[in-house]
């Protein structure tokens, strides 16, 4: 689901819509999820959170991971779907 990756999350309302897109993606395309069980998903989210500043730097995004916002939370959830922990 491309919209899951293009949807911009800036507000709490956006984040709620994003979570609904994530859930829809889980049900409609479960094969695209590497971390389906909750423990694996949370492990991947933690691992990505540790290295997310490197992700932002490598993709030339002007984001400070130490000052999170609704968009960075969405990035953590997006990454946890497939991130190898």
Determine the average pLDDT of the residues in 24-49: 97
2 domain residue, yes or no: no
1 domain residue, yes or no: no
Q: Please, which residues have CB within 8 angstroms of residue 50's CB and are 6 or more apart in sequence? A: none
Determine the average pLDDT of the residues in 1-14: 94
Q: Please, which residues have CB within 8 angstroms of residue 16's CB and are 6 or more apart in sequence? A: none
Owning domain of residue 78? 9-82
Q: How confident is the model at residue 1 (pLDDT cuts 50, 70, 90)?
A: confident
3 domain residue, yes or no: no
Number of domains in the chain: 1
70 domain residue, yes or no: yes
Read off the pTM: 0.92
Tell me which residue of 23, 59, 63 sits closest to 41, measured CA to CA: 23
Task: Give start and end residues of each alpha helix (H) in the chain.
Answer: 2-6, 12-28, 38-58, 70-82
């Amino acid at each position: 689901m491309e919209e899951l990756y293009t949807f911009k999350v800036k507000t709490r309302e956006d984040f709620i819509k994003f979570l609904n897109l994530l859930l829809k993606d889980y049900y409609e395309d479960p094969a695209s999820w590497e971390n389906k069980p909750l423990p694996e998903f949370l492990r991947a989210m933690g691992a990505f959170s540790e290295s997310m500043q490197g992700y932002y730097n490598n993709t030339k995004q002007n984001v400070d991971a130490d000052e999170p916002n609704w968009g960075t939370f969405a990035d953590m959830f997006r990454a946890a779907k497939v991130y190898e922990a």
